[in-house]
Structure 1
Amino acid sequence: MKITTVGVCIICGIFPLLILPQLPGTLTLASLTVFACVLVFIPFKTVRYIALTLLFFVWGILAAKQILWAGETLTGATQDAIVEITATDGMTTHYGQITHLQGRRIFPAPGLVLYGEYLPQAVCAGQLWSMKLKVRAVHGQLNDGGFDSQRYAIAQHQPLTGRFLQASVIEPNCSLRAQYLASLQTTLQPYMWNAVILGLGMGERLSVPKEIKKYHARYWKRRI
């Protein structure tokens, strides 16, 4: 089977997510999975393409359910969680993943963004923190430039945002990548556009000043 054929099956399988008013239930997904597995054994290419498309459809629905689960289950009440920091500006904005909830491992770990507060001690990517969290699902509304913040957050696997009420570090060591970035920041310090170089080269958007981000947004808005 050609890779282009698989690509078409993926697109056709995922496309219904754009138009479905609600996600199918577990029984429906189980039935579709069994039906697709039966179709695989029929020796006709077209039938096997349909089976592959159905399997990708089920996979897409399960991924969507996982995202909705985080927004529906973790919001509202205060949550006791272990959070792995994945990125930070070193001040009041921290990106992370909830690896444990109420003492239980979560897989895949939902991402979140914490705003507005300093952590009790120096923070870097790779650290594990025990936190009491108050989170909500990311809500977005299209602006004049056509940017949907909710869709962007979901694409970045960060469907949650909020703040922590209490926090204590469990594993204070930084990841190897964070240590390398710290070394690179020191090396690039003499350069005028060091933050932009770091953002473009290593994907560290948090290091880019807000003024440059606003200029970039205005530039693309004019282009649109």
Structure 2
Amino acid sequence: MFIINIGFTLTRSNSSLFVLRRSNDVTYLLLYVDDIVLTGSSTTLLQQIVERLRREFVVKDLVELSFFLRIDVKRDATGFLRHGPLHFYLSQQRYTEDILERAGMANCKPATTPIDTKGKLSADDNTKVDDVKSYRSLAGALQYLMVTRAFAVQQAYLHMHDLCGLHQALLKRILRYVLGTTHLGLHLRASAELSVTAYSDADWAGCPDTRQSTSGFYVFLGDSLVLWSSMRQLIVSRSGAEAE
């Protein structure tokens, strides 16, 4: 791979993220298919890397990052919405509005939560989905909304091979929640301290079919949320303590 040959190394945490270090300078390159996000501590080094890429590929340099993987990126060094110094604000309003138009739910009643936390989805339901193709298309579009709605979208994917009415209701619930939260986003701010704080939790035997538990975690760098996940555990835990 070309970027490996010019000195970048692949990170362990992300198969799309590469790092290049030269003396006291560091550069990060995020690669997704034919889209690249490049940033670093040295403007000179960044320019050199861009020139190397241009000599090898047809590259269009958009200068400042504004839209990537259905995420709108706004940069503001003076402050935003009175929340103090902000460097980046990430939102998906444009993309969510497109999904709602496709689903014919742009004028539906918003929901305050993306999923009923008390109810558990089961495969044991005789009602059928009206349009399986449409369900799968919308569920696929929601993949890019997993930035903020990972658990709910995961639930919509669990029984993609054998859909029922409960899953259709869940998909509509997620879209109703999306309608009421299109204006929300993530704030990534500069922090005086590079402290790392993590929170994790798990339910116990949350799936009514397999009795598997679901784990979730959030990681903050300073006061900015930088990493999160929600996924079903591979084994069946015998207690809540074991699940956690």
State the TM bucket, normalised to the shorter chain.
Answer: 0.3 to 0.5
Select the structure that is richer in strand: 2
- The two structures have a TM-score, normalised by structure 2, of 0.30
Higher relative helix content: 1
TM-score (norm 1): 0.32
